[in-house]
Structure 1
Amino acid sequence: MRIPVEKVWAEHPTAKEIVERLSAAGHLAVLVGGVVRDAILAELAGREFHPQDVDIATSAPPEEIHRLFSHRKVLTVGEAFGVVVVVDALGRQYEVATFRAEEGYSDGRRPDQVRWASLTEDLRRRDFTVNGLAATSTGEVLDLVGGLADLQAGLIRTIGDPDRRFSEDFLRMLRAVRFACQLGFRIEEETAEAIRRHAEKIRRISFERIRDELLKILATPRSAQGLRLLLELDLLPHILPEIYALKGVPQPEEYHPEGDVLTHTILALSVADGLWDDPILKLAILFHDVGKPQALWRSGGENMAGHCQIGAEIAEKALFRLRFSRKEIERVKFLVAEHMRVARLPEMGLGKQVRLLCHEESEGEEDFSRRFPAFAQLLRLVICDAEASSHRSSAWLPVLSQTVRLLVHLRRVQGLKRARELLSGDDLLAMGEPPGPRLGQVLAEIHERILAGDITTREEALKEAAKLLGRMPNEFFS
């Protein structure tokens, strides 16, 4: 079998140059990994092949690669492992790795010893058969690990003994789940059993690496399958104990005939999988009901009131542990905290509606999702949440309808920026009001009325502020 290597060279001429220059110098050089796998999958499915990242393996040692490509920018990202990155004129990076064998994994993360080796040894040290394929410069596929058969069968299988492969790097257990979701494959049973045997050892892996794999799983169109696999393979309690705690938590059958909170969460992710590939949105869906167990306990088993705020706090701690950025944590917190409130958007006062809509607004953007990114994600979360329950469109359609009306209203009142222009904290200070709770309360009240359209001029704003200051004694705020 051969892959259409001409397409690879056409879109990545620098990759062609790398292979040809290495070959001309007397070294063996082949394409490896994802580019070979994806080309074969495209052929099997009868669809167009678009090569993305192109990786190359070679018999040339790192110093020889440096010498041969001294005319180009070369990054030494992992030279101890024989990995050199050649950068083309467009900034695209091509990983060029020396054939190697690895020995001893005392920490379950990285090899104790690396030596240069043959192509056969290099391919057989890799994680899964579908990633252990190579292709020559003419496109001929080299299969020394049974990868072709597993691609045809739709299986994720380790190369060789699964216990040994996972012991070399326990992150590979999560990678198995990710590739199953990415490719729509099943995990071969011996491989799955080995993951169950080693599941608790995922704790040895850094939170940063776990976070990255989790995001890659969520970015696939099968993140719901990913969550099921994490549960079935006993990985979930070790990486996301907060989500595992949702298992068996009951919900009112009238609203949630689908079952417990974890089942609902999986269904909500499944809805998102069919509509969006945004991993941060899916992260918020994953955590949107995480506060329900604690809320149920607090109420003595009577209800789940307050679960949104509880959930936001739990999500913050979990994402901090997983080393998410502060920006990502704040966005997920907002989505979890507000996902029930936005469902009541038509019942809220206009001022409050505008404030919610304009959270993290990017003024000047025309596209709705770009101008109101947080609110757009909030709407998507509500749709997924409702479609995974008995509410369905009766819960989200009124919210979308009100959002359309709200956008028309926003054009008239010109949003939060206009409210701040009509009245600011400096104006109240100039009236003689000292800094303190009363100043903030009056300012919020006037802004609310501006956003609702009740106050339209600066004169009206100043007049109403003076009235409020006269009616609200300081003692009330002390």
Structure 2
Amino acid sequence: MNYKQALQHSVFKTISEVATALNMDAYVIGGYVRDYFLERGTAKDIDIVAIGSGIDLATAVANALPNKPKVQVFKTYGTAMLRFQDIELEFVGARKESYSEDSRNPYVESGTLEDDQNRRDFTINALALSLKKDTFGELLDPFNGMADLDKGLIRTPLDPVITYSDDPLRMLRAIRFATQLNFKIEKASLDAITKNKSRIKIITNERIVTELNKILASDVPSIGFLHLEKTGLLDYIIPELTALKGIDEKEGQRHKDNFYHTLEVVDNISKNTDNVWLRWAALLHDIGKAPTKRFSKKVGWTFHNHEFVGAQMVYKLFKRLKMPLNDKMKFVQKMVYMSSRPIVLATEVTDSAVRRLVFDAGDYVEDLMTLCEADITTKNPRKFKKYHNNFKKVRDKIVEVEERDKVRNFQPPVSGEIIMKTFDLKPSKEIGIIKEKIKEAILEGDIPNEYEAAYDLMLKEGKQLGLTISD
């Protein structure tokens, strides 16, 4: 069948004309074609396969386009890229590949379109549209990728055991596509992923995290993490999560399965935020429970200080996976560390407790509340309603306290400089003691967050410390 309507952008006509002039065949392949048939919107990344030199074709196309866009050449990979208007075009010569056991980087040699489609990861990514003048828009689908699109199936063009062993990143890509598209992974593929799971060790952490972020950014991330767990990949990537699996029972007392609870929380939060770092916080909020799990006859199962332990584990996990150790990691740490605070607070919503919550969470108090509301996974309708009503009270109190006391990103009304000047002090511990007393008094509601009240308390505390007011 012919799908010229998929190639209406003027750039396709230009590529076709240039390829004809070079006596070269060219095809659009991969994600652009897949997403067109899935009606996922117009992709901005377009892959062009040339039967010949992709670099030569890219250079000639750039010269034929308005304003002659700059061509980036990657000789090692035989590829070239250019940006035109709002799209990014990548050109590559058709090739066939062979792999060694210790690397996902293949040995590459020139090949036919058939060779190039054979090397593709999934049938739905092997779909190609011809840019040849006489067959412009014709679909080439040697592996029934269209049928797999209709069935919602992730399947490899060739033997999945070989496909995943050759390039183990494809295992994560299979799971990522299944999550993003809500597709099923063919049983033979799932079995092959399970068989090849240890091969993930040759993939760089940066590549792994890129796929994890895409899974987390999906509408229902749990699809991906259930596949990762089922195939055994999660043990190699985030064992802190698989450690949460299982329900222990002693003397008739059980605790919930914190792994499946975690996935529910991630799905819940994904309905309310696109912030991938907040989704990471949801994924990791209970990782401290495995190392802190204890049982006593008196109170049953406990997870004392799991938030503190979990926050420390976040740093180690980010470092191991080579994730950013900057403000993004600190944000996730803070969310994990504070993840139980609003839950405890919801039982008794006092002004002082809310002030402390806002003081400690700062600009992230809304994110923290979103995380805590997602943490409600009870199947009891009465409890579910009660918890959400309690959180609504907390949110209302946050607004009230914020407007009145202004403790978010708190700055003391009396600065260290004023204290030093008043008592003729040099930098000393007494300054810190007075500032702490003022902060605590404001958070407890003993004095308003105002200069005069804070100044009076400063004088009082200074006197108790034996300080004298300078003339």
Superposition TM-score, scaled by structure 1 size: 0.85
Deviates more, 1:207-216 or 1:461-470: 461-470
Q: Does 1:225 align with 2:190?
A: no
RMSD: 3.0
Deviation at 1:384, TM superposition (A): 1.4
- Cα 1:462/1:237, change in 2 over 3 Å: same
Q: Give the letter for the 1:128 counterpart.
A: F
Which protein has the larger Cα radius of gyration, Structure 1 or Structure 2?
Answer: 2
Match of 1:409 among 394, 401, 425: 401
Q: Give the letter for the 1:65 counterpart.
A: A
Q: Does 1:458 align with 2:446?
A: no
Match of 1:383 among 373, 378, 382: 373
Equivalent positions of 1:36-55 (< 5 A) are 36-42=33-39, 49-55=41-47
Tell me, what secondary structure is at the counterpart of 1:392?
helix
Alpha-carbon distance in 2 for matches of 1:4, 1:446:
72
State the partner residue of 1:271.
268
Q: Give the letter for the 2:77 counterpart.
A: F
Check whether the contact 2:358–2:407 (CA below 8 A) recurs between aligned residues: no
Check whether the contact 2:34–2:127 (CA below 8 A) recurs between aligned residues: yes
Deviation at 1:178, TM superposition (A): 0.5
Match of 2:89 among 94, 98, 113: 94
Alpha-carbon distance in 1 for matches of 2:128, 2:5:
12
Alpha-carbon distance in 2 for matches of 1:295, 1:232:
25
Tell me, what secondary structure is at the counterpart of 2:120?
coil
State the partner residue of 2:98.
103
Match of 2:179 among 178, 181, 196: 181
State the partner residue of 1:280.
277
State the partner residue of 1:65.
58
- Cα 1:201/1:405, change in 2 over 3 Å: same
Tell me, what secondary structure is at the counterpart of 1:109?
coil
Check whether the contact 2:80–2:92 (CA below 8 A) recurs between aligned residues: yes
Check whether the contact 2:244–2:290 (CA below 8 A) recurs between aligned residues: yes
Tell me, what secondary structure is at the counterpart of 2:96?
strand
Q: Give the letter for the 1:288 counterpart.
A: H
Deviation at 1:429, TM superposition (A): 2.7
Tell me, what secondary structure is at the counterpart of 2:49?
strand
Deviation at 1:157, TM superposition (A): 1.0
What residue ranges of structure 1 are gaps of 5+ in the alignment? 43-47, 362-371
Deviation at 1:455, TM superposition (A): 2.4
State the partner residue of 2:338.
338
What residue ranges of structure 2 are gaps of 5+ in the alignment? none
- CA displacement, residues 160-190 of structure 1 (integer Å, 9 cap, x when unaligned): 1112111221111111110111111111111
Alpha-carbon distance in 2 for matches of 1:254, 1:383:
29
Check whether the contact 1:256–1:264 (CA below 8 A) recurs between aligned residues: no
Deviation at 1:133, TM superposition (A): 0.7
Alpha-carbon distance in 2 for matches of 1:341, 1:263:
22
Deviation at 1:273, TM superposition (A): 4.0
Match of 2:291 among 283, 290, 294: 294
- Cα 1:412/1:231, change in 2 over 3 Å: same
State the partner residue of 1:399.
391
Deviation at 1:377, TM superposition (A): 2.1
Alpha-carbon distance in 1 for matches of 2:371, 2:252:
21
Alpha-carbon distance in 2 for matches of 1:109, 1:219:
25
Tell me, what secondary structure is at the counterpart of 1:81?
coil
Check whether the contact 2:402–2:408 (CA below 8 A) recurs between aligned residues: no
Q: Does 1:114 align with 2:112?
A: no
Alpha-carbon distance in 1 for matches of 2:160, 2:437:
63
Q: Give the letter for the 2:417 counterpart.
A: D
Match of 1:470 among 463, 467, 471: 463
Superposition TM-score, scaled by structure 2 size: 0.86
Q: Give the letter for the 1:310 counterpart.
A: V
Deviation at 1:262, TM superposition (A): 1.0
State the partner residue of 1:367.
none
State the partner residue of 1:85.
81
Alpha-carbon distance in 2 for matches of 1:473, 1:28:
90
State the partner residue of 2:313.
314
- Cα 1:99/1:328, change in 2 over 3 Å: same
Deviation at 1:5, TM superposition (A): 3.4
State the partner residue of 1:422.
413
Deviation at 1:18, TM superposition (A): 3.6
Q: Give the letter for the 1:217 counterpart.
A: I
Alpha-carbon distance in 1 for matches of 2:412, 2:309:
35
- Cα 1:389/1:329, change in 2 over 3 Å: farther
Alpha-carbon distance in 1 for matches of 2:316, 2:466:
40
Identity within the alignment, %: 30
Check whether the contact 1:351–1:448 (CA below 8 A) recurs between aligned residues: no
Deviation at 1:253, TM superposition (A): 13
Check whether the contact 1:287–1:311 (CA below 8 A) recurs between aligned residues: yes
Alignment coverage as a number of residue pairs: 450
Tell me, what secondary structure is at the counterpart of 2:80?
strand
- CA displacement, residues 320-367 of structure 1 (integer Å, 9 cap, x when unaligned): 211111222111111111010122345466466345436675xxxxxx
- CA displacement, residues 303-322 of structure 1 (integer Å, 9 cap, x when unaligned): 11211111111122112211
State the partner residue of 2:439.
447
Check whether the contact 1:170–1:201 (CA below 8 A) recurs between aligned residues: yes
Match of 2:258 among 261, 265, 278: 261
Q: Give the letter for the 2:285 counterpart.
A: H
Equivalent positions of 1:116-265 (< 5 A) are 116-137=110-131, 138-250=136-248, 259-265=256-262
